[in-house]
Amino acid sequence: MTAPSPSPEDPPRAPSAHAEDTPRAALAAAAGRAIASEALFAGATEVQILHRGSLYRLKQTALGKLILTK
């Protein structure tokens, strides 16, 4: 039994080592816009997010985890 040949609509793709091809990046891209935490925090350890009239705090811990509080 032989494998079907690729159709003209689906050209073969070469493997890539780009960060955009990682599963985590693919999930973020599928969910919407991805923003790097470094860009979001811009050197700070805490940012405030106004969402639907409520103010939230997003904080980085010393271990690099994120905590979101209202």
- pLDDT, residue 2, reads 56
**Residue among 29, 49, 47 at smallest CA distance from 38:** 47
Name the DSSP letter for residue 6.
Answer: P
Those residues whose C-beta lies under 8 Å from the C-beta of residue 46, and which sit 6 or more positions away, are: 57, 58, 59, 60
In the predicted model, what is the mean pLDDT of the chain? 78
CB 23 within 8 A of CB 9: no
CATH topology of domain 37-70: Complement Module; domain 1 (2.10.70)
pLDDT over threshold 90, residue 65 = yes
Overall average pLDDT of the 43-51 stretch: 95
pLDDT of residue 32: 75
Residue 58: the pLDDT is 97
